[in-house]
């Protein structure tokens, strides 16, 4: 199945006073790279999250972000940092004495100073944290997969249309090649007839020239291999496994055959079809970079 490497997924779970939201985003990457941003209370789950993602995704640069919200149930509280508060007051008194300043610190402004108030949360055990994380993570992965599969279906339709165009062009090339060889052979006969009137000599030169040209310009093998590569590409698109790496390899082989056909072709019309095939292969290659 064709899946895009770019996608987004979201999962959410409510458990009593906690609501956990998990979001997954990804972009193209040659390998699988996973990063995460987790609340401190569940930061110990990073490895377990990585293992769960690796079981579902094979390629891409993924970022997993989780947010944990608690209600005013006593699980989340604020604490006055008395040490920091005392330092603020000491500095304020010194500043008043040193510079002759007047005025007092007002309570709202004092409480708004950095690090005066600290947020306290009840610690979760790893088992409890995973029990909270597992369901929204799986939901996010399901949503993520559905998003990538939908985009992959669009990519597959485009790729199949381009494969059909390449197949038609290669068919025209294979059909036209004998005509091109015959035309060149006729030109060789005319050329040799002008070189010498010696019939035996002309026959020998003609035979060797025609054989040499026919051998150098024969593209039957390349056209057959190109057809085989097209079939393999189609099979990879329709298969159940991630196809990106295999498709990249097949494209390299297709491009090699196209270059060989181009180097052997000495006909304007054949040249146009070869250029078209190479352009389509390049467009397919760009699309395949987004396939897992």
pLDDT, one tens digit per residue, over 164-200 is 999 999 998 888 877 766 666 666 666 666 655 555 5
Question: Is there a single domain that holds both residue 42 and residue 90?
Answer: no
Question: Is there a single domain that holds both residue 45 and residue 62?
Answer: yes
Average pLDDT score over the chain: 84
Residue 292 inside a domain? The answer is: no
Query: What percent of the chain lies above the pLDDT cut of 70?
Result: 82
Question: Is there a single domain that holds both residue 65 and residue 134?
Answer: yes
pLDDT of residue 73: 37
pLDDT of residue 74: 39
Q: pTM here?
A: 0.68
Per-residue pLDDT averaged across 267-280, rounded? 88
Residue 247 inside a domain? The answer is: no
pLDDT of residue 84: 87
DSSP conformation class of 114: T
Strands 7-15, 18-27: pairing is: antiparallel
Q: Residue 266: what are its φ and ψ, rounded to 5°?
A: -125, 50
End-to-end CA gap in the chain: 9
Residue 110 inside a domain? The answer is: yes
Q: How far apart are CA 17 and CA 74, in angstroms?
A: 9
Q: How far apart are CA 187 and CA 174, in angstroms?
A: 21
Residue 42 inside a domain? The answer is: yes
Question: Is there a single domain that holds both residue 53 and residue 90?
Answer: no
Question: Is there a single domain that holds both residue 15 and residue 117?
Answer: no
pLDDT of residue 26: 95
Split into its structural domains, the chain has a count of: 2
Q: Residue 64: what are its φ and ψ, rounded to 5°?
A: -105, 120
pLDDT, one tens digit per residue, over 63-109 is 999 998 864 333 556 788 888 888 888 888 888 888 888 887 788 88
Question: Is there a single domain that holds both residue 27 and residue 131?
Answer: yes
Domain extent at residue 29? 7-72+124-149
Confidence bin at 254 (pLDDT 50/70/90): very high
Pick the closest to residue 21 from 34, 11, 36 (CA basis).
11
pLDDT of residue 72: 37
Per-residue pLDDT averaged across 221-231, rounded? 92
Residue 50 inside a domain? The answer is: yes
Residue 284 inside a domain? The answer is: no
Residue 250 inside a domain? The answer is: no
pLDDT of residue 42: 87
Question: Is there a single domain that holds both residue 103 and residue 37?
Answer: no
Residue 290 inside a domain? The answer is: no
Question: Is there a single domain that holds both residue 11 and residue 67?
Answer: yes
Question: Is there a single domain that holds both residue 66 and residue 17?
Answer: yes
Question: Is there a single domain that holds both residue 24 and residue 114?
Answer: no
Question: Is there a single domain that holds both residue 88 and residue 63?
Answer: no
Listed in sequence order, the residues at least 6 apart from 89 whose beta carbon sits closer than 8 Å to its beta carbon are 105
CA distance readout (Å), 173 to 81, 215, 224, 277:
81, 17, 11, 10
Which residues pair with residue 9 across a beta bridge?
Answer: 24
Question: Is there a single domain that holds both residue 81 and residue 67?
Answer: no
């Amino acid at each position: 199945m064709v899946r895009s490497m770019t996608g987004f997924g979201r999962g959410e779970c409510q458990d009593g006073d906690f609501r956990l939201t998990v979001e997954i985003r990804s972009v193209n990457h040659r390998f699988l790279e996973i990063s995460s941003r987790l609340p401190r209370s569940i930061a110990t789950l990073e490895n377990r999250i990585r293992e769960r993602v690796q079981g579902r995704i094979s390629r891409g640069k993924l970022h997993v972000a989780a947010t944990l919200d608690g209600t005013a149930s006593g699980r989340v509280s604020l604490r006055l940092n008395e040490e920091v508060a005392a330092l603020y007051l000491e500095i304020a008194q010194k500043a008043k004495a040193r510079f002759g300043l007047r005025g007092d610190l007002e309570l709202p402004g004092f409480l708004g100073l950095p690090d005066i108030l600290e947020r306290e949360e009840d610690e979760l055990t790893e088992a409890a944290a995973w029990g909270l994380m597992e369901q929204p993570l799986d939901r996010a992965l399901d949503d993520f997969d559905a998003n990538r599969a939908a985009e992959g279906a669009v990519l597959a339709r485009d790729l199949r249309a381009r494969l059909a165009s390449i197949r038609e062009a290669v068919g025209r090339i294979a059909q036209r090649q004998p005509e091109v060889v015959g035309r060149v052979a006729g030109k060789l006969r005319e050329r040799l007839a002008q070189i010498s009137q010696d019939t035996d000599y002309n026959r020998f030169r003609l035979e060797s020239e025609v054989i040499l040209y026919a051998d150098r310009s024969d593209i039957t093998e390349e056209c057959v291999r190109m057809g085989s590569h097209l079939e393999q590409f189609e099979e990879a698109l329709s298969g159940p496994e991630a196809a990106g790496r295999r498709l990249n390899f097949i494209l390299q082989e297709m491009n090699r055959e196209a270059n060989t056909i181009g180097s052997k072709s000495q006909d304007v019309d054949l040249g146009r079809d070869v250029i078209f095939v190479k352009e389509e292969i390049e467009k397919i290659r760009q699309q395949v970079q987004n396939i897992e």
